[in-house]
Structure 1
Amino acid sequence: MISSLFKPEEFGEMFKNEQFEEIYSLSSKDFQDLISLEDFIELSMSFNEGVNYYKLEFKSILKGLNHYIWLDDRESKAISVSVDKNLQIQSLLLKPYGASVESDTVYTKNKYSMPIEDEWVVYWGGANEMVNYHYTYENQRYAYDLVKTGKDNGTNKDTDYLNENYFAFSKDILAPEDGKVIKVIDGVKDNVPGEMNANNPEGNYVIIEHANKEYSMLAHLKKGSIKVKTGEQVNEGQHIGHCGNSGNSSEPHLHFQVMDSADLEKAKSIRIRFKDDYEPIRGDTISNKKENKDSFEDRVEKAENALTFTDFILAIPRAIAQIFK
């Protein structure tokens, strides 16, 4: 039974005070099946060594889960926790805080718009692994995964096994900047939600060549929806296709990235400079409407401070397992 006294915002304090049995009792059965209480206590005590306190640095709500990230007083360790509406802990990650990589300081020469209409939500995005699942893969490091959500922050209505029930499915996907279409792949069927196609990881996709030898990719598009052809010149905001669930994707969403080559095996992902000088990260609601937003410098700081990590992990993350490799 979940304690009604549990306050997720105070998890960092609970962990520092070594309330490990209580934390374990608040975790999901999946987590408890992964690790015993004894092992959890041993690993947690080891992680706590040298820590004076943990400070809550980041909070977001996505797909019915509240996500929290804490940093220790020396900013050398990070804790990430996801809690559901019943106050049950669904994921717990303990990681050393890692230094950023050199590519974090390199931005696209061009400025881009998000390739969407209306409001979407960043499911994965940012300059570290804590907020961006792609970060460990150099060819996808600064990619974005975008979904649409409803009033309860869920990505679908009614049953979750029909693509048509997902708010993102069939929504228009647009060109993020002027350019020339140099590759179009269509004909890959859309998955049943929960299933993935690892043999065609990008699914249906379009690559556009832009000025300064930069290349954008729009992936996991709906089968038969792509409106452009190889060699066609496109303008920013032009309709490219519809959001789908093709490829290594577990539910309808858009994968968007900019890279230094059209060769997906050799390309390196480039951190995107956006036209509104706003760099969104995981949990942000985005649109192409002009609004009063933080400065570009403030967003860069937020994106970088939301943490990077490597090595030690305790986790049963409920996340979209759609990245292509």
Structure 2
Amino acid sequence: MTIVLELPFTGSWLVQNSPAERVPSHGTDRLGSRYAIDFVAVDERHRSASRRTWRTLLASEPPELFHAFGRPVLAPIAGRVVRAHDGEPDHEARRSQLTLIPYALGQARRLAQGPAAVAGNHLIVEITPTGPYLALVHLRRGSLRVAEGERIGVHQHLADCGNSGNSTQPHLHLQVSDRLDLGTAVGVPILFRRFTETRRPGTTAQVRHNPLPTERAVIGPAG
């Protein structure tokens, strides 16, 4: 079974940890993440933030500095919301190796704390009454626009992108799994119906149909 999705955003987003390049895409099958994919909003120069300061090299940075923070997250498929978790803080972002190393050393501790510590604010959507289940992860605190039990339509504004949970800079993590319980969930393959893709700033975008975006490509809606 492969689930075909629409893009969950407008504008340009950089692809990271794509299952087109490796499976499991995030190096683990835990929490149903075997075919998960990450998206980072970028500008016309394919930058995740428009400026760099001394903090970029030596310290953490406010999440508001990044293009993804606060961007609308749209429903990539119709379904029913079965989990809507909010209240987790949006962390400072980390591009500096000085801050990434201690953060990586805390990974096991966050995993031990359970799905909320890893996913942060998130939504899980039941695609059919028997599954599978779409998860949209690392959402901005206080931005959820839907509640558990609510039916949603494609392209509906569900929440905003944030930096909650196990996230080093604002981005959207998307995955589909076979069951609601992330502790036992198994990942389900995904494709995206139609999008534009560019590899370098200023080059012509190519329209792609029903593929998986490739690693480090910048994609956006095809209209």
Structure-to-structure mapping, 1:259-298, within 5 angstroms = 259-276=177-194, 277-290=210-223
Query: What is the aligned residue count?
Result: 182
Amino acid of the residue matched to residue 229 of structure 1? A
Which residue does the alignment assign to 1:237? Answer: 155
Is 1:209 the equivalent of 2:126? yes
Which residue does the alignment assign to 1:102? Answer: none
TM-score, structure 2 normalization: 0.75
Amino acid of the residue matched to residue 126 of structure 1? P
Q: Pick from 128, 142, 152: which aligns with 1:224?
A: 142
Is 1:141 the equivalent of 2:41? no
Which residue does the alignment assign to 1:122? Answer: 15
Structure-to-structure mapping, 1:27-42, within 5 angstroms = none
RMSD (Å), alpha carbons: 2.0
CA shift at 1:135, angstroms? 4.2
- Residue by residue over 1:259-304, the C-alpha shift from the partner in whole angstroms, topping out at 9 and shown as x without a partner, is 11111111111110322312212112222224xxxxxxxxxxxxxx
Q: Is the 8 A contact 1:203 1:219 kept in 2?
A: yes
CA shift at 1:165, angstroms? 1.0
- Cα distance in 1 for residues equivalent to 2:126 and 2:188: 14
- Cα distance in 2 for residues equivalent to 1:122 and 1:272: 14
- Cα distance in 2 for residues equivalent to 1:141 and 1:169: 25
- Cα distance in 2 for residues equivalent to 1:145 and 1:274: 13
Which residue does the alignment assign to 1:250? Answer: 168
CA shift at 1:149, angstroms? 1.7
- Cα distance in 1 for residues equivalent to 2:11 and 2:44: 15
Amino acid of the residue matched to residue 162 of structure 2? G
Amino acid of the residue matched to residue 283 of structure 1? R
Structure-to-structure mapping, 1:1-325, within 5 angstroms = 106-108=1-3, 111-129=4-22, 133-137=25-29, 139-158=32-51, 159=53, 160=56, 161-194=61-94, 198=110, 199=113, 200-211=117-128, 213-276=131-194, 277-290=210-223
- Residue by residue over 1:119-157, the C-alpha shift from the partner in whole angstroms, topping out at 9 and shown as x without a partner, is 211122124438x74143252111111001234432112
Q: Is the 8 A contact 2:46 2:218 kept in 1?
A: no
Q: Is the 8 A contact 1:128 1:135 kept in 2?
A: no
- Cα distance in 2 for residues equivalent to 1:122 and 1:171: 16
Q: Is the 8 A contact 1:221 1:245 kept in 2?
A: yes
CA shift at 1:176, angstroms? 1.1
Q: Match of 1:146, SS?
A: strand
- Cα distance in 2 for residues equivalent to 1:283 and 1:180: 31
Query: Any gaps of 5 or more consecutive residues in structure 1?
Result: 1-105, 291-325
Q: Match of 1:201, SS?
A: helix
- Cα distance in 2 for residues equivalent to 1:202 and 1:216: 13
Q: Match of 2:182, SS?
A: coil
Query: Percent same amino acid at aligned positions?
Result: 32
Q: Is the 8 A contact 1:261 1:268 kept in 2?
A: yes
Amino acid of the residue matched to residue 167 of structure 1? H
CA shift at 1:235, angstroms? 0.3
Q: Is the 8 A contact 1:127 1:135 kept in 2?
A: no
CA shift at 1:253, angstroms? 0.3
Query: Any gaps of 5 or more consecutive residues in structure 2?
Result: 195-209
- Cα distance in 1 for residues equivalent to 2:20 and 2:42: 23
Amino acid of the residue matched to residue 284 of structure 1? A
